[in-house]
Structure 1
């Protein structure tokens, strides 16, 4: 396995409990800008999606301003997520153990993670969320440009705009669903949210959920192995 699961700044700090670096300040800021952009984009998009949801436009100062700011939030989301993509795409490449992890997903839900393969920095579920977000954001920005009439109406036909609007709406619903799964999973796996707020996790958390990554950190090289629990 390549060493891209382990970053030079990630260290294990002995103590009670053991503390493990997981995300830098820059990565955390990048993540929360992306998260905030996606939430604002969803709310503003829903406001102009259906009349029954138009009341959400009040969060943005009314209908006209909502229509104006929505595509710009989309641009912010695209570039912010691009930063995350460049940081983490290698660590999210599919590995042979990921298929086995998915096949034994019931064991994960029932807190029997010793029955699933050891995984690196991200498990198969996190990787699916990452690549789903990547694909859907590209679809959203591409279709969004087609229907951004203020700047691009002269370059597209009405038929193209209608198709793009349909694609944009479907992708928007899909990405909201992916975000809900991501958010629920972060709450479900205790200790995940502190990783994105403080940038650190306990050794016990890393040993339980991302044991292969922790072994690599301890060994100082990819696929390092230790006979005992390095989280102790």
Structure 2
């Protein structure tokens, strides 16, 4: 594949990109509605969803749909995010990563070790948020959950929501930091040079 005489390689299929952006949009809606309900100072965000009552109704449904969307996305990328010996070495050389000394780092597959760690952090967060969210969803599960469990679930829910928001911020920052990453998720392709530099192992496997 070529564009303006630059050789390109497909990094994400149209289906993968669509699933990613659906999940991203759902996350933004879930985060904003959750923050609106978390603290009175942020209650003004409920205006984005039609007011406080609609925000309370929609937020848990956003969560269920996000879980389904993320589960489909995680299923697509699960195998590529399993850690190997090169990933552990990559983590040990994190100073070289920050200094962008790619030439001294182990070759990277489709995802580097940092991306893999973040992937599994997100998996844990989404599962815990679903379970804790169901526990505090009074409309449907209020009679089945005792008040002490519900209070504990609310604390757990808030904590893992914070971890997930931080994780997504890190994800976005890393995508901006590594020039070309956002374009890959927008267009689906990267240049041969980009692939060789950041994901040499994946590049070799892809062009066989």
TM-score of Structure 1 vs Structure 2, range by shorter chain = over 0.9
Secondary structure in 2 matching 1:19:
strand
In structure 2, C-alpha distance between the alignment counterparts of 1:53 and 1:152, rounded to whole Å:
26
Take 1:14 and 1:193, find their aligned partners in 2: how far apart are those partners?
Answer: 19
Q: Could you state the TM-score of these two structures normalised by the residue count of structure 2?
A: 0.97
Normalized per residue, the structure richer in helix is 2
Q: Which runs of 5+ in 2 are unaligned?
A: none
Q: What is the TM-score when the length of structure 1 is the normalising length?
A: 0.87
Candidates 159, 164, 167, aligned match of 2:148: 159
Is residue 2:106 matched to residue 1:117?
Answer: yes
| Stretches of 4+ aligned residues off by more than 3 angstroms | none
Q: CA deviation at 1:46?
A: 0.5
Cα RMSD of the aligned pairs, angstroms, is 1.0
Q: What is the 5 A alignment of 1:83-162?
A: 83-162=72-151
Q: Tell me the alpha carbon deviations over residues 153-183 of structure 1, each in whole angstroms, 9 at most, x when there is no partner.
A: 1111111100110100000000000000000
- Give the counterpart of 1:200 among 182, 189, 192: 189
**Count of residues paired in the alignment:** 207
- CA distance in 1 between counterparts of 2:199 and 2:67 reads 28
Greater displacement, 15-24 / 75-84:
15-24
Q: Tell me the equivalent position of 1:226.
A: none
Q: Does 1:210 align with 2:183?
A: no
Cα offset for 1:111? 1.9
Q: Which moved more, 1:164-173 or 1:100-109?
A: 100-109
Residue 73 of structure 1 corresponds to: 62
What are the Cα deviations for residues 33-84 of structure 1, in whole angstroms up to 9, with x where unaligned? 1111111111100000011111111111111111010001101110000111
Task: Name stretches of at least 5 consecutive residues in structure 1 with no aligned partner.
Answer: 1-12, 221-232
* Corresponding residue of 2:160: 171
Q: How does 1:32-71 map to 2 (within 5 A)?
A: 32-71=21-60
